[in-house]
Structure 1
C-alpha cells in the first residue's frame, strides 16, 4: 500500500506542479519579457519560484494519492478482505501514517531550507534587474519613460548594437526642456555608469520662462543615462526571506532587521512547521474519511466530498488563527491548531470506521427473528 501511495503521490505532485508552475510562468513571462529582459532571466525566475510551488501542492498531492489508493482498494474489495482477516482501521492506517510522515519530511526540507533560500535569491535578483539599463532602455519601436520627466525612443537596433534614430526628451529641470535627436547612438560603459554616445544629432533647448528655443547641431555627444534608472537599493526583506535557524536563535534581532514585531517572526517560524504537518494531516483525512464508507454500488463519492469539506474547514481554521498569532507573540501555539484539528478529525473518523457501537448485522437479524 505504501508503494502505491508513493507512486500516485509522485504522479499527482508532478501534474499539480506543472499546472501551478505554468500559471506562474505565464505571469512572469508577461512581466519580464514585456520589460525587455532576456529568456535566460525568465527561466531563472521561474526556476527560483519552483520550490514555493512544490510546497503549495504537496499537501494536495498527498490527499489525492490517499483518496485514489483507498478508493481503488475498496473498489477491488481488497480492504474488505483484509478487514475480514482481523485488520482494524487503526492497523490499516499505519502505511498511510508512514506515507504522511515521508511527505511531512519533504515539506520540512522545503519550508525550512529550499523555499527561504529561493525567495531570498529571487528578491536579490529582482533588485539587480530593477537597475538594468539594457532591459529598460534598449527596446526598439516603443516610447519609454525610464524616469520622471524623461522620454526615450529608438527606432531600430542593429545586430552590432548600433541604435538608429534616437529620440531623448529631458524635462527634469524646472526652467528648461531639452530634446535630443540623433541618427545613430551607442551605449558604452563608463567609470561611473553607462553612457549614451549620440552621433550626428540635434539638441533643442526650450527655456520655459522666455519660451525661446535654441538648437545645437553636434557630431557626437555623450549623455549620462545611469541616473535615468531608479534602482531599488533596499531589499525590503520579509520574514519569509529569513533562514529558519536565524528565526530560532535570533528572533528579536531578525524582527528588528526586517522591521516587524517579534510576534510576526514567531508566526513565520511555527508556520513553517505547521505547513510540513499539513501533508500528514491531508493524507490521514483522505484515508480515514473513505474508510467510513460502507459498500455501495454508487461508490464513495459522498465520502470524497466530505473529505474535501474537512480540508476546507482546516484551511478556515488556519485563516482564523493567523491574525491573532501575528499580533500577539504569546499566541504562537495557535499556529498548530489546524493540524491538531485535522488529526482529531482523522482519529474520530478511524474510530467511527471501527464501528465500536454498532452490533453485527447477523446478531440484529437473529434478535428480530426471535
Structure 2
C-alpha cells in the first residue's frame, strides 16, 4: 500500500502544480482584458478581481485536461529517470497496480470537471454577464468620458472634467437641443442615478440657461436640480445570455425566450453534450501520459520520442474535439462523436497499457545494470 500511496501523492502534486500554473496564466490574461473597466469606466480594482475569480470555473474546465496531461507526464518521466517505475515492477507490482493511482487522480479530476461544467461555470458566467452589463449600462459609462465632450446622438451633449471613484462628477456641462430651443446646465458636482427605473442626473451648485425659439434667454441658478434623461436615454434592458451562461436544463429544454436570445435547439443541445463529455478528456489525457512512459519497452535512453508523440496526439485530440463541438451546433448526428472521440482515445490508451509485455523480469534485469546494484555486488 505504501508504493501506490507514494505514486498517488507524487502524481497528484504534479497535476496540481500544473493546474495552478495554467490557471494563474489564464487569470493574468483575463485581468489584462478587464483593464478597460478601470481605464475607461472608472471602476475599482476590486471589480476586476471579482470578474477574474468568476472566470475561474470556465478557465479550470478548459485547462484541467491539459494540466493532468502535463503534470502526470512530467512526474512519470522524472520517476522513470530515477528508476522508481522500474523499482515498482521489480517489487512484483502488476501493471494495473502501477497505473491505478494515476487513473484515480484522473477520475477525481473528471468528477471535479463535471461539477465545474454543469454547475459552477453557468453560475459564474451569469454573474459575470450581469456584472459587466450593469457596469456598461451605468449612465456615467454611457454619457461620460473624463475631459471629453460626449454626444448621445439624441440632442444631448455632456462634458465632465473629473470623475471620482465613487461616481461623483465635478465641473459638469450639459447641453440639450430640442425643437422648442436649447438649454444648458453647468454645475460644480453631479451624480447619475435612476428613479423608478427612469435615468436622472442630480446637479448641485450650478445654473441653467434656456434659449427659447422666440429668442428669449432665461437664466436660473440653483443649489440642486434633478434633470430627467428618460427622453434621451432608453430604459435599461436585461442582459442577454450566451449558451455558456445557461443551465443544463435550459439547454436541453429551452424556453421560447431562450431560443430567441441565444440560438436554435441544435446549438443548445451541442453545448449541453459538450459539458457532459468534456471531463472525459481528462481520463484520456492521463491514459495517454501513462502510455508515453509505461506503455512500451523499458529504455534506459529515455522516452523522448514517445513523449513528443503522445503530446502531439493529445493536441490533435483536443483540436478535433473542439472542431466536433463547433460542427455539432449545426448537425445533431455529430453529437455522439463528442463522446466517441475521448472514449476512443481512453480505450486505445488503456489497451496499449494492458497489452504491453510484463516488466517484472525485465525490470529485475535492468536493476542489475544500475550503479547501486554493481556497488552492492562489489
Aligned to 2:89: 83
Give how far 1:329 is off. Answer: 2.9
Within 2, Cα distance between the matches of 1:85 and 1:17?
Answer: 38
Within 1, Cα distance between the matches of 2:93 and 2:168?
Answer: 78
Give unpaired runs (5+ residues) of structure 2: 1-6, 366-378
Query: Given the alignment of the two structures, is residue 98 of structure 1 paired with residue 104 of structure 2, yes or no?
Result: yes
Aligned to 1:325: 328
Within 2, Cα distance between the matches of 1:308 and 1:148?
Answer: 57
Query: Given the alignment of the two structures, is residue 143 of structure 1 paired with residue 149 of structure 2, yes or no?
Result: yes
C-alpha change, 1:228 and 1:67, in structure 2 (3 Å) is farther
Give how far 1:127 is off. Answer: 2.7
Picking from 187, 195, 202, the partner of 1:196 is 202
Please provide the CA RMSD for this pair: 3.4
- Give SS of 1:237's match: coil
Within 1, Cα distance between the matches of 2:164 and 2:98?
Answer: 69
Aligned to 1:53: 59
Give how far 1:258 is off. Answer: 4.5
Within 1, Cα distance between the matches of 2:164 and 2:79?
Answer: 65
Give how far 1:109 is off. Answer: 0.9
Mapped contact 1:236–1:258 kept (Cα < 8 A): yes
Give how far 1:139 is off. Answer: 5.6
Within 1, Cα distance between the matches of 2:199 and 2:155?
Answer: 20
Give how far 1:160 is off. Answer: 9.9
How many aligned residue pairs are there?
A: 351
Mapped contact 1:143–1:153 kept (Cα < 8 A): yes
Within 1, Cα distance between the matches of 2:277 and 2:166?
Answer: 55
Query: Given the alignment of the two structures, is residue 72 of structure 1 paired with residue 74 of structure 2, yes or no?
Result: no
Q: Deviations over 1:320-346 (max 9, x none)?
A: 322442223344212213312321441
Picking from 179, 182, 192, the partner of 1:178 is 182
Query: Given the alignment of the two structures, is residue 225 of structure 1 paired with residue 229 of structure 2, yes or no?
Result: yes
Within 1, Cα distance between the matches of 2:57 and 2:161?
Answer: 41
Mapped contact 1:33–1:39 kept (Cα < 8 A): no
Picking from 270, 279, 282, the partner of 1:279 is 282
Within 1, Cα distance between the matches of 2:246 and 2:275?
Answer: 12
Q: Deviations over 1:226-245 (max 9, x none)?
A: 55555651432233222224
Q: TM-score if structure 1 supplies the norm length?
A: 0.81
Query: Given the alignment of the two structures, is residue 239 of structure 1 paired with residue 236 of structure 2, yes or no?
Result: no
C-alpha change, 1:263 and 1:125, in structure 2 (3 Å) is same
Within 1, Cα distance between the matches of 2:84 and 2:319?
Answer: 35
Mapped contact 1:246–1:254 kept (Cα < 8 A): no
Quick check: 332-341 or 95-104, which moved more? Answer: 332-341
Mapped contact 2:210–2:218 kept (Cα < 8 A): yes
- Give SS of 1:166's match: strand
